[in-house]
Structure 1
Amino acid sequence: MLKYIFIFLICISSIQAQTYNEAKLDSLFNALESNNKGMGSFSIFSNGEEIYQKSFGFSNVATNAKANSLTKYRIGSISKTYTATILMQLVEEEKISLTTLVSDYFPNVPNADKITIENLLRHRSGLFNITETEDLRAWVDKLQSREKMIARIIANGTNFEPDEKTQYSNTNYVLLSFIAEEIEKKDFSTILDERIVEPLALKRTEYGNLIEPKNNEALPFYFENSEWKEVKLQTHMSVPKGAGAVVATPTELNQFFTNLFAGKLVSAVSLESMKNAKEGMGLGLMKLPFDAKEVYGHGGSIDGFQAFAAYFPNENVSIALTTNNLYAQISGVFIGAVKTYFGMDYTLPDFSPKKTIEVTSEELDTYIGTYGSPDFPIDIYISKDGNTLIAQGEGQPSFQLDAIGPHTFYSEKVMIKLTFQNETNKVVVNQGGRTYELTKE
């Protein structure tokens, strides 16, 4: 549920706030819509007020229903920030503590007598990620009882010892959901309503169910053969629970983050704990420092939906994007919108068709390898499939690269251009208006 944040982390340095260019923001989202590159909604809050909102594309292609400011989207792993907020409220009420052990509630979970609530919140439990099981598709769209989910967690075991390192795992927040239910003696959807939705008077935020297009809930789509096609598989929300079951609009995402940082949901002490990061991971928040500035946020991806929310505390600005498909990765569009708002240099993407050239399998051999740089947060692996060059960012899905010139390759799907310099064993990466030089290892 979280694969689209890495490029974002490195592209917002040296932000200088200026009067934002509304026309340029409109142009970005209009270009996405007119070129069938994405569908969704975007919102900016400044000082607690929405100053910009834009919806683009359809919420339901089959009925030509256009997305609007009230369209609801699955937000995937951004749900974890809501869950962490609930757990911190329970800590403040002394119903639990960050040092409480999982064994107090689920003693049969591997390492339950060593894993703390804080370990779960920080993704430092070592528990295997339940959504990476090989048979996931066989059961992910069906109602799952707590007993079944706990049995799977037990069966899949651990990857490392508690607090040894940070490794993202949805299992952590599934367990936190169950623990909250045990404490409150209520189902998690009720807990979400009582502790976040109702206090903030949110009207379009809820624990998700089967998608109902008639209620202005977006269906997910993918683009293939010049048309949008519906993603038929829908995760049953009993699977991710507090790890990914929340549905919202970008406007209400910004309301949530603005109120969280304003101290309306947790105390200042609890918020500081949430912001305090180890290896970039706080308690339900990811800390993204850029020069003298800091940014906190989270991303999410589920069933064709992608979303990202980021809060800039010093500027009191919250920015959120929700999509029910993005032909390009969410990071590129989100980066462009954020850079445009803060007055940074940003060139709108060129969606005109790129003329490709043919290359031989032997020519591709010279590019194969692993490329990295201290200035780039992940390694890029280059391989081939016949006459096609394949790229894959560390921990991310692979994608095809098309040759558009000598030693130059492009992926329209992720809006990235790679130019190989074989004589120096380097590759120049252009994405999101930024350029990076990586060296072959």
Structure 2
Amino acid sequence: MKHKGNKVMRICIYILLIGVLYLSAAEQQSVVPDIFITRWQITVPIPVGPSDTSMEAQEKAFQENVVPADQIIASLALGKLTVNGIDYPWRTFVSPSNAIDLAALYNRIDYHYVYAVADISADAGQKAVLGIGSDDAVQMWLNGVLVHENFRGRPVTIDEDLMGVSLLPGKNTLIVKIHNLQGDWGFAVRPLSQASLAEKLVDSAGDGNMQTVTLLLENGVNPNSIIGPGLTAAHIATIKGNRSLIDLLVKFGADTLIKMPKVEELIDFTVSRAKKEDYPGASVLVAQDGKIVYQQCIGMANVDKSVPIIPETTFRIGSITKQFTAASILKLQEQGKLSVQDKLSQYFSDFPRGDDVTLHHLLTHTSGIASYTDAPGFIDQVTGDISTEEMITWIKSLGYTFSPGESWAYCNSGYYLLGVIVEQVSGRSFDQFLKETFFQSLGMTSSGVYRRGLNLAHEAVGYQYQNDAVSLALDWNMDFAGGAGNLYANVGDLYRWNEAIFAGKILSPSSLTPAFTPVVLNSGEKAAAMGGSYGYGWSLVDVRGLSLIEHGGGLHGFSTFITRVPDKKMTVVVLSNAAANIPHLSPGNLAHQIIEMTFYGVMKEQNIATVEQPVDFAAFDDYVGQYDYGQAMMTIRRSGNHLLAQLGTQPEFEIFPSGANKFFWKMAAAQIEFVRDENGRVTHGLHTQNGATLKVPRIPEEKEIQLSAQVLEQYVGDYELAPGFILSITREGTQLYSQATGQSRVEIYPKSETEFFLRVVVASLTFVKDENGAVKAVVLDQGSVHREAPKIK
């Protein structure tokens, strides 16, 4: 009873404090470097206006729906902003955190925008660099002058956009407009300190982002700024082999004679900077010539119990499991118990097209079998119970995305089946086979198949990072992962495994050769895969002339990576218990950074693209469309004299012309060349990144027809794709939308009276009617998925 009373009192005090904050919100906030501006006056949400929710229509509205800055300022005294004859009241808000969470303040309201105003005070006139992160599009005015705009769909990322500004002595007025597309929305603004600018300069140099580097240098950031162990932007440009960036830095006065920090210092700084108090973290191990040369643990294995990560901490390793599954198949082949050329039908007699698929196809992701992890509703099921028999039945039902050997697509279904085949052939459980065949002899005492109730002594708990905070991640039942990803291990065991593999202690040379050989398709072409090529359970990539053999793993709460540099006899292992990744801690990126820091002196320089002059803007329309990247679709659209690219649901980025039909990203070392046929029509793209080139076919454009609101209304309702996984169809005017459980709402477009297509993914919906003409179901076709969902509401 006493506890309840105290709780009520705390709530009352909290409300009173909030009231005080609201009353004082109109006060000017001092400009303090690195301190976020948290006191704002914000309008209630204003509808964007057009019923067309395409990016083109939304961007046009974003540019046109602008109230002059002086009218916005004048409306504050009235307590309301009038737009198109409608009054939108101002609210004063003080955020309890760095970001202004508009979803918490106004809920998730799609296709709306707000204005926010803050007064900041500077002791003297000064130049400053402001950082802003926004979800989604943003425009910013300072003292009535537009200083920044960026139309992109994205989450709030602190300081993602930077702008140089001149502050007046005394009062300065900031106006921010946030245009929400879908889902969460918000923003965060702060002036950056010299220390933060130095970090931004070095990080942008590491990313190869010459645009941001130029902005920082032009706004007075010291080109010789130092972070960590004496690391400068010129150092990181040297490590990255970016000659163009070095030349830019020298132009602004960078000293290339400043001594490079030692490799051990560079690695330790790169690992340690990801550490944050009471956050999950990682375990990192680097070995060369068979000896551990660096090992570090950061963060918490269990945040709630304050248990730190130590070298013995075990992590679920996800798809790193695939190399263990592949090694098991190859070991059984060495024992004469199976062959990688065996037909799938030998092990599952009723598997659809089982005579067309071999174990080689499963090992190389070229079977064409649909991956069950891409199936609708998978995530909603993954914490429940399932048997091996149920999994196999499910995989059989998914069909194929292409004929075996015709293409490459990452396929967890194939590796799940391989894990079952290991059990069938060996007569032992997958866990028992691995331990008796590999783990025991190698001293891998902290590895095995993860299952519920294990109660491991040093187990890491999985977390997710979102909006500058961490929370418990979805806890998979690893029975769903099987041979595709169900193992756990620590860095020491994976180091022992990698050393043994490359010393020839586990498999014979005749087995290792195909495992480390790029798979070739039926056409004779080497399959482009994962930024390089793929063997049996290992990815094969080239990083600036160094050949790497590696694989990553990822599931909710865990992100992992292991790589080998065969020519240098180096192993790098990074295991993290946070996914999505916490800042500065992407295991794959970190592993590659460690390799570059160690071997940059013998690695090739990057071939950095530059903007072609003059630019043939008339050709931009030829490239507009959608391109098939296998696991996602790249949408290319034009905005004036800009060409924009968006892969799947990732943020949209501008691409820049570097030559005839050639474009590049400034945010990453990636390029695309658009290829034309004999008639001059663009048929596909060639995407180059990390030394590998991927052919991406252009998807034929679907033709939209017009249907009346009356016809569309009959399709409105809920359809059950799977138990607990609902596809909701809604209508606004003559536009239909679909929204699956836990996913964003997307437009669907009619190509006939009953057939509709999507533009964000390659998928279609066909509505099915009964004998009386009433809609009874919808059929989803997406890749290999063909599923009829009955109408339940």
Query: Normalising to structure 2: TM-score of the pair?
Result: 0.44
> Cα–Cα, structure 1 residues 371 and 333, in superposed 2: closer, same or farther, change >3 Å?
farther
Aligned counterpart for 2:517 among listed residues 276, 285, 288 = 276
Match of 2:667 among 405, 423, 430: 430
Q: Is the 8 A contact 1:109 1:150 kept in 2?
A: no
Match of 1:306 in 2: 559
Residue pair 2:315, 2:489 contacting (<8 A) in 1 also: yes
Q: Quick check: 202-211 or 237-246, which moved more?
A: 202-211
* 1:133 Cα deviation after fit: 1.1
Distance 1:291 1:438, change over 3 A: closer
Which amino acid in the other structure matches residue 324 of structure 1?
N
Q: In 2, distance between residues paired with 1:421 and 1:37?
A: 41
CA contact (8 A) 1:390 1:400 kept: no
Given candidates 582, 586, 592, the residue that maps to 1:327 is: 582
2: CA distance between counterparts of 1:100 and 1:289? 31
Instruction: Give the corresponding residue for 2:597.
Output: 340
Q: How far apart, CA to CA, are the structure 2 residues paired with 1:225 and 1:165?
A: 38
Shift of 1:142: 2.5
Which residue of the partner structure matches residue 264 of structure 1?
505
2:240–2:600 contact (8 Å) kept in structure 1: no
Does the aligned pair in 2 maintain the 1:370–1:379 contact within 8 Å?
no
Conserved 8 A contact 1:60-1:213: no
Determine if contact 2:563/2:591 at 8 Å carries over to the other structure.
no
The equivalent of 1:317 in structure 2 is 570
CA contact (8 A) 2:277 2:299 kept: no
Matched-pair contact (CA < 8 Å) for 2:329–2:422: yes
> Separation in 2 of the partners of 1:77 and 1:277?
18
Deviations 1:321-367 (A, max 9, x none): 11111224444333322222324699xxxxxxxxxxxxxxxxxxx9x
SS in 2 for 1:199: helix
Q: 1:436 Cα deviation (Å)?
A: 4.7
In structure 1, distance between residues paired with 2:451 and 2:493: 18
Query: What code does the residue aligned with 1:97 have?
Result: S
Matches within 5 A, 1:42-441: 42-210=284-452, 215-231=457-473, 233-278=474-519, 279=527, 280-290=533-543, 293-325=546-578, 326-328=581-583, 329-343=586-600, 381=635, 392-393=646-647, 398-400=649-651, 428-431=665-668, 435-436=669-670
Residue in 2 that maps onto 1:415: none
Identity among equivalent pairs (%): 24
Query: Shift in Å at residue 380 of structure 1?
Result: 5.7
For the residue of structure 2 that corresponds to 1:310, the secondary structure is strand
Distance in 2, matches of 1:255 and 1:112, equals 37
1-side partners of 2:313 and 2:644: how far apart? 36
C-alpha change, 1:391 and 1:253, in structure 2 (3 Å) is farther
In terms of mean alpha carbon deviation, does 207-216 or 90-99 score higher? Answer: 207-216
Paired residue total: 379
Q: For the Cα contact (< 8 Å) 2:657–2:663, is it kept in 1?
A: yes
Deviation by residue 1:223-254 (Cα, 9 ceiling, x = unmatched)? 345432111x2221211111101111223222
Which one-letter code corresponds to 2:342 in the other structure?
A: T
TM-score by length of 1: 0.76
Tell me by how many angstroms 1:20 deviates: 6.3
- Cα deviation code 1:364-394 (max 9, x no counterpart): xx9x96799xxxxx9864689xxxx99744x
Secondary structure at the residue paired with 2:480?
coil
Instruction: For 1:23 and 1:275, locate their aligned partners in 2 and report how far apart those are by CA, in whole Å.
Output: 33
Q: 1:379 to 1:108 in 2, by over 3 A?
A: closer
Letter in 1 for 2:599: F
| d(CA) in 1 for partners of 2:594, 2:394 | 40
CA contact (8 A) 2:655 2:666 kept: yes
Greater RCO, 1 or 2 (C-alpha within 8 Å, sep 6+): 1
| Equivalent-residue separation in structure 2 for 1:269 and 1:14 (angstroms) | 36
Name the CA shift for 1:79/1:421 in 2 (closer, same or farther; >3 Å): same
Corresponding letter in the other structure for 2:556: D
* Rg (Cα) greater in structure: 2
Counterpart-to-counterpart distance in 1, 2:633 and 2:391: 33
8 Å CA contact retained: 1:286, 1:296: yes
Whether the 8 Å CA contact 1:371–1:426 is kept in 2: the answer is: no
Decide whether aligned partners of structure 1 residues 369 and 31 sit closer, same or farther in structure 2, where only a CA change above 3 A counts. Answer: farther
Confirm or deny: 8 A CA contact 1:42 1:54 kept in the other structure.
yes
Stretches of structure 1 lacking an aligned partner (at least 5 in a row) = 1-7, 347-365, 373-377, 402-408, 410-417
Aligned CA distance change for structure 1 residues 314 and 230 (closer, same or farther; 3 Å): same
Are the structure 2 counterparts of residues 162 and 438 from structure 1 closer, same or farther at C-alpha, using a change threshold of 3 Å? closer
Partner of 2:282, secondary structure, is strand
Rounded Cα–Cα distance in structure 2 between residues aligned with 1:26 and 1:322? 16
| C-alpha contact (below 8 Å) 2:311/2:490 kept by paired residues | yes
Q: Counterparts of 1:225 and 1:131 in 2: how far apart (Å)?
A: 26
Q: Distance in 1 between matches of 2:334 and 2:314?
A: 31
Q: What secondary structure sits across from 2:400 in the alignment?
A: coil
8 Å Cα contact 1:391/1:398 also seen in 2: no
Offset of residue 264 of structure 1: 0.8
Please identify, of 18-27 and 61-70, the stretch whose mean Cα deviation from structure 2 is larger: 18-27
Distance in 1 (alpha carbons) for counterparts of 2:658 and 2:569? 46
What SS class does the counterpart of residue 171 from structure 1 fall into? helix
1: CA distance between counterparts of 2:346 and 2:601?
50
Q: Distance in 1 between matches of 2:633 and 2:266?
A: 32
Q: What RMSD in Å do the two structures reach over aligned CA positions?
A: 3.6
CA contact (8 A) 2:285 2:572 kept: yes
Aligned equivalents of 2:349, 2:592: Cα separation in 1 = 43
Q: Is the 8 A contact 2:280 2:302 kept in 1?
A: no
Q: 1:250 to 1:341 in 2, by over 3 A?
A: farther
State the 1:137 CA deviation.
2.4
Displacement of 1:427 in angstroms is 5.2
* Residue of structure 1 equivalent to 2:266: 24
CA deviation map 1:9-65 (0-9, x unaligned): xx99989xx996111111112211138997111111112221111111111111121
Q: For each residue in 1:137-189, what CA deviation from the matched residue of structure 2 results, as whole angstroms up to 9, or x when unmatched?
A: 23212232121011101111111111112211001111001111111111111
Superposed displacement of residue 305, structure 1: 0.9
CA deviations 1:262-302 (Å, max 9, x no partner) are 11111011011211112211111111134654211111111
Would the aligned equivalents of 2:515 and 2:535 in 1 still touch at CA under 8 Å? yes
